[in-house]
Amino acid sequence: MSDQTRKYHQYLNQGELWLQYCLNCKKYIFYPRSHCPVCWQSELEWRKSQGKGRVYSYSIIYAQSMTDHEVPYIYSLVTLEEGVRLATHIVECDPKEVYVDMPVEMAIRKIGEQLMPVFKPAAPV
Amino acid sequence: MTKKPALITGISELAPQKNPAGQRTLALLAQAARLAIEDAALQKRDIDGLLVTPPSEDSAFMWPAQVAEYLGLAPAFLNMVELGGASAAGAVARAAMLVERGICENCLCLSGGVWDSQVFNTLQGKMSVMSQAEIDYELPYLPMGFNTGYALIARRHMQLYGTTPEQMAKIAVDQRFNALQNPLALFNQAPLTIEEVLQSPLITDPLHLLEIVRPCSGAAAAVVSRSKSEANTHTAVSVLGWGEACTHNSIVYAPEITISPVKQSARRAFAMAGLKPADIELLSLYDCYPITVIITLEDAGFCAKGEGGCFVADNDLTYRGDFPCNTHGGQLSMGQASFAGGMSHIIEVVRQLRGEAGERQVARNRLAFVNGNGGVMSTESSLILGRAEDE
Ligand SMILES: [Zn+2]
């Protein structure tokens, strides 16, 4: 596990999602790494995510031979308000209700052995 | 074209096998190599270049030298081409460069491998085809391997452009019609209907079981040459253009998941050949899933962006249709024989351009477009092939 991934998990273990921010590009990057993939500078600052985003795409997984995780579950790509996209689960959501562009907000849940960020439908404003 | 393009002078393809028991990649490659040089009417000593796709059960360390040693070759150029499913097309493109630059006279492009579900369906097997970033940031969420990546693409394409399950299923159906005339295909016994595809189990929505390629074992080879041997009675096939592109490894980080690097790879290939999509008479497009074909058609310029679904619904993709595509059945009916799955698209086009496709021979067979696709529409290698006599 890289130093950056270890740091990512340290924040998750505190119940927070933190992202790297490139001080040169003034943009967030994901996944965490040593150098900004845009400018190749290494001045990257960790900043706390607001945990809000939208469903970019999703797939409801019905068959999974690899683990005993309960099926179906909603695998999704979520675009955060910070501008980065990540793989995640949509939870507390009927598979029939999920849609592309659905507003979501982060929760941290245990998947397997690790605490990972997942997303649930955003509370109505 | 100012320079004489490289020629594909020999091909071979082993029948894909479901059962991996007793199979070895090196043995499959050796068999494919022997058949390919026989097809090209060459001797082993004529082969001075070796491009090979990655190993499956063997170590990747020094793989080209391992293969050269096994085959008793002492090539002037050797390399492993690792572009996932685009490796075979990438190998032919590289071989064309080597031949046109005068480095090789006859370059052997070898592809194949053994697929053992006992090995690859384990966590360890899945991790062996993942980057560390995928292991750290995707695997914890239990994607169903490549299937889920393409499911995400399909879902977003449906949302943005109104692409329907029926349109995607039709690709599998037309290709199955083609496979019924291909004795090598794994699935060539019975036709398929759109209803049957859509009634097969949803695996990773919106992908049904019959829209997911079946991995298997096999090998295929192509010989790329500066000129054809006098004893070779087959029509030679010219590599008129090629292009490559990559925008991401994991689909999570693709700039827009419904737009593939085919946009660049095809544009580069057409520019090199001095041709346009309307000139093409026959297509062979990497089809790990139907959505791959739809997006390739759009991004290569055969139809407008977003119209791929309607395009496949409105055109007959069979060998007797108005828009022949994947006339061997595609990998969806042929089976995906490891890295030879990508080669199957090249082999079929060579057969068609030679006029040797038997019952499934197409009528118009001068110019073809081939696309190899690796990862989750990550690496793309496009080829434009033509009948050499016609230049
Ligand atoms: Zn930067």
Q: What does the alpha-carbon distance between residue B213 and residue B199 come to, in Å, rounded to a whole number?
A: 17
Do A77 and A17 lie in a common domain?
A: no
* Tokens of residue A108, six digits: 């941290």
Give the pLDDT score at B119.
80
Of residues B215 and A68, the one with the higher pLDDT is B215
Number of domains in chain A: 2
CATH number for the domain spanning A98: value is 2.40.50
Q: What does the alpha-carbon distance between residue B119 and residue B131 come to, in Å, rounded to a whole number?
A: 18
Choosing from A48, A68, A83, the residue where a domain stops is A48
Do A23 and A63 lie in a common domain?
A: no
Chain B residues whose C-beta is within 8 A of a chain A C-beta are: 121-123, 126, 132-133, 136-138, 140-144, 148, 151-153, 155-156, 159-160, 201-207, 251-253, 257
Give the pLDDT score at B391.
47
Give the pLDDT score at B1.
46
Place of tokens 């097969």: B200
Do A44 and A56 lie in a common domain?
A: no
Do A56 and A44 lie in a common domain?
A: no
Query: pLDDT tens digit string along A100-112?
Result: 999 999 999 999 8
Q: State in Å: Cα A20 to ligand 1 middle.
A: 10
Give the pLDDT score at B118.
82
Q: Nearest Cα to B37, choosing from B219, B222, B184?
A: B222
Q: What does the alpha-carbon distance between residue A91 and residue A118 come to, in Å, rounded to a whole number?
A: 7
pLDDT tens digit at each of 391 positions of chain B: 457 999 999 999 999 999 989 999 999 999 999 999 999 999 999 999 999 999 999 999 999 999 999 999 999 999 999 999 999 999 999 999 999 999 999 999 999 999 988 888 888 888 999 999 999 999 999 999 999 999 999 999 999 999 999 999 999 999 999 999 999 999 999 999 999 999 999 999 999 999 999 999 999 999 999 999 999 999 999 999 999 999 999 999 999 999 999 999 999 999 999 999 999 999 999 999 999 999 999 999 999 999 999 999 999 999 999 999 999 999 999 999 999 999 999 999 999 999 999 999 999 999 999 999 999 999 999 999 999 974 4
Q: What does the alpha-carbon distance between residue B200 and residue B204 come to, in Å, rounded to a whole number?
A: 12
Give the pLDDT score at B2.
53
Contact B141 A65 (CB under 8 A): no
Residue A96 backbone class (left: φ over 0; alpha: ψ -120 to 50; beta: rest):
alpha
A10 vs B: CB within 8 A? no
Going by the DSSP 8-state scheme, the letter that residue A123 receives in this structure is P
Do A19 and A63 lie in a common domain?
A: no
What is the value of ipTM here, to two decimals?
A: 0.97
Answer for the pair B297, B284: CB distance below 8 angstroms, yes or no. no
Choosing from A12, A27, A48, the residue where a domain stops is A48
Chain A hits for B206, Cβ within 8 Å: 59
Do A117 and A71 lie in a common domain?
A: yes
Q: Nearest Cα to A64, choosing from B144, B117, B135, B137?
A: B144
Do A56 and A117 lie in a common domain?
A: yes
Do A79 and A103 lie in a common domain?
A: yes
Among B132, B137, B138, B157, which would you mutate to test the A interface (most chain A Cβ atoms within 10 Å of its Cβ)? B137
Do A65 and A38 lie in a common domain?
A: no
* 3-class secondary-structure state, position B132: helix
Helix axis angle for B262-273 and B290-299, nearest 10°, is 50
Do A75 and A108 lie in a common domain?
A: yes
Q: State in Å: Cα B253 to ligand 1 middle.
A: 16
* 3-class secondary-structure state, position B116: coil
Q: Which domain holds residue A16?
A: 3-48
Do A64 and A18 lie in a common domain?
A: no
Q: Under 8 Å CB-to-CB from A118, ≥6 apart: which residues?
A: A88, A89, A90, A91, A106, A107, A108, A109, A111
The answer to whether the peptide bond before residue B261 is cis (omega within 30 degrees of 0) is no
Domains of chain B and any CATH numbers: 7-117+214-387 (3.40.47.10)
Give the pLDDT score at B301.
98
Q: What does the alpha-carbon distance between residue B179 and residue A66 come to, in Å, rounded to a whole number?
A: 32
Do A34 and A78 lie in a common domain?
A: no
Answer for the pair B373, B260: CB distance below 8 angstroms, yes or no. yes
Residue A92 has pLDDT above 90, yes or no: yes
Give the pLDDT score at A65.
67
Q: State in Å: Cα A81 to ligand 1 middle.
A: 18
Distinct helix (H) and strand (E) counts, chain B: 14, 13
What distances in angstroms separate CA B172 from CA A32, B252, B376, one per listed residue?
39, 26, 19
* Tokens of residue B196, six digits: 């049957």
Give the pLDDT score at B215.
96
Chain A hits for B204, Cβ within 8 Å: 59-63, 75
